[in-house]
Copies of this chain bind each other. A is one copy, B any other.
Amino acid sequence: MATEGVDRRAKYQRIADTLRDAIHAGDYAPGDRLPGENDLMATHGVARMTARQALGLLQSEGIAESRKGAGVFVRSFRPLRRRGVERLSRERWGAGLSVWSADIGDRTLVVDQLSVAEEPAAEGVARVLGIGTGEAVCVRRRRFVLDGKPVLLAVSSLPAALVGGSAITERDTGPGGTYARLAELGFAPAHFREEVRSRMPSQDETGRLGLAPGTPVVLVCRTAFAADGRVVEVNEMTLDSASYVLEYDFDA
């Protein structure tokens, strides 16, 4: 499977490989401008189309991005760190030890779009909530923005029979939010399960998250369990993969 013997790579791939290696070696830092088509044509003695393909490949891989009229730049990866497990693991096990740099600081997510509705439960959500397909759920849809850039779409579903009449069905859920209200109803989340996968975004997701070309989304489905094992919430989250590192801590 390894690349051996004769170099079978197309010219544009070889140029892209050279640029990629230079990026990984730090010759081009995040935010730096890469050589333009004219530079590549001169350096490698290739046609404009070949130079363009090489730069296009790096963009499709998500490691470079084109800025109108300015050229192609090394994409910055300066994501948020999202901790699945809050607790005290950082104090016990040390902070800042990461292969990937990511902000842990005080950047704040803001909700810029919010809707609340009672809807019939779709099959998958109904199964997890342990209710019948089509039974009423309270659905809270939110978009979160960081520094003006949308980074997260969240669709939280809770059984209407459980939360009907509470502030969870209002736009403003009050201090402590949904989980504080669930606690008042006697269903404080005691356990969480997060399932994580990734895929390319739909056109709608690309638009709503303002995704650059070649940027996948990360899907996180969070299930919240009350102490008696009852599922009280399913939260389907869609994350801009260029904006997030997810972190999970657990003991052996």
Q: Which of A30-38, A94-102, A168-176 contacts B (4 or more CB under 8 A)?
A: A94-102
CB pair B99 A199 closer than 8 Å: no
Inter-chain contacts of A63 with B (CB < 8 A): 199
- Chain A residues with a Cβ closer than 8 Å to the other chain, count: 71
Q: Is A84 among interface residues, defined by CB-CB distance under 8 A?
A: yes
Given contacts A191-B250, A200-B62, contact A125 B113 (CB under 8 A): no
Describe A's contact surface by its main secondary structure.
mixed
Q: Is A22 among interface residues, defined by CB-CB distance under 8 A?
A: no
Inter-chain contacts of A199 with B (CB < 8 A): 61-63, 215-216, 241-242
Taken residue by residue from 227 to 252, chain A's Cβ proximity to chain B (1 for < 8 Å, 0 otherwise) reads as 00101001010000110111111111
- Using a CB–CB cutoff of 8 Å, the interface residues on chain A facing chain B are 1, 3, 13, 16-17, 20, 57, 60-63, 79, 84-85, 89, 92-94, 97-100, 113, 124-125, 127-128, 130, 188-204, 207-208, 214-218, 221, 223-225, 229, 231, 234, 236, 241-242, 244-252
